[in-house]
């Protein structure tokens, strides 16, 4: 479906070796995840559900990735790409909270306890991030974090995707 769609090269942030770029295309589709229906002798079939974005990514390495996004129909391609690429930041923060702040050390038996433990871990993470940024003066070239201060890039380092000339 995306083969006939216009592909646009976008850069979503600057990495250690320069701008991170890939080609993206997006198309509104209806995903077959609607309510199950019994259609003739075919058993349970899913009728088309809500509209979603089908987003394709062609990386410079030749790798191709595809995503479904439930963002509004008026969302532009740069915003879709930025949202997809923001996942890396979330995964890094989650990993650091597990490794350095004990997010994965909860041994309770209730959802309330788990939620409180997760909330306290996130508060500690944000406190340490605030202290690290305050100490560095908010400069982009900050020293690497120690085990007491998780390394996390602020949202401004990973800002929204922007188009580059191809």
pLDDT value of position 149: 43
Average pLDDT, the chain: 79
Whether residue 162 is predicted with pLDDT greater than 50 in this model: the reply is no
Q: Tens digit of pLDDT for each residue in 34-70?
A: 666 666 666 666 667 788 899 999 998 889 999 988 8
Whether residue 102 is predicted with pLDDT greater than 60 in this model: the reply is yes
Quick one: which of 122, 125, 129, 128 has its CA closest to 153? Answer: 129
- Token code pair at residue 126: 């944000």
Quick one: which of 160, 166, 161, 153 has its CA closest to 16? Answer: 153
pLDDT value of position 92: 87
Strands of the sheet with 64-69, listed across from one edge: 64-69, 51-59, 18-30, 8-15, 162-163
Contact 150/100 with Cβ under 8 angstroms? yes
Mean pLDDT of 97-109: 90
């Amino acid at each position: 479906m995306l083969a006939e769609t216009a592909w646009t090269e976008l850069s979503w942030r600057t990495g250690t070796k320069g701008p991170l770029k890939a080609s993206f295309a997006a198309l509104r589709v209806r995903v077959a995840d609607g309510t199950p229906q019994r259609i003739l002798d075919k058993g349970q079939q899913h009728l088309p559900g809500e509209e979603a974005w089908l987003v394709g990514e062609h990386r410079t390495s030749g790798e191709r990735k595809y995503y479904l996004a439930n963002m509004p129909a008026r969302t532009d391609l740069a915003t879709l790409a930025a949202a997809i690429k923001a996942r890396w930041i979330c995964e890094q923060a989650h990993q650091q909270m597990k490794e350095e702040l004990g997010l994965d050390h909860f041994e309770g038996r209730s959802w309330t306890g788990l939620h409180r433990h997760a909330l306290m871990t996130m508060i500690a993470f944000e406190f340490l991030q605030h202290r690290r940024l305050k100490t560095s003066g908010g400069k982009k070239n900050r020293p690497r974090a120690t085990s007491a201060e998780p390394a996390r890039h602020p949202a401004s380092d990973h800002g929204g995707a922007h188009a580059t000339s191809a």
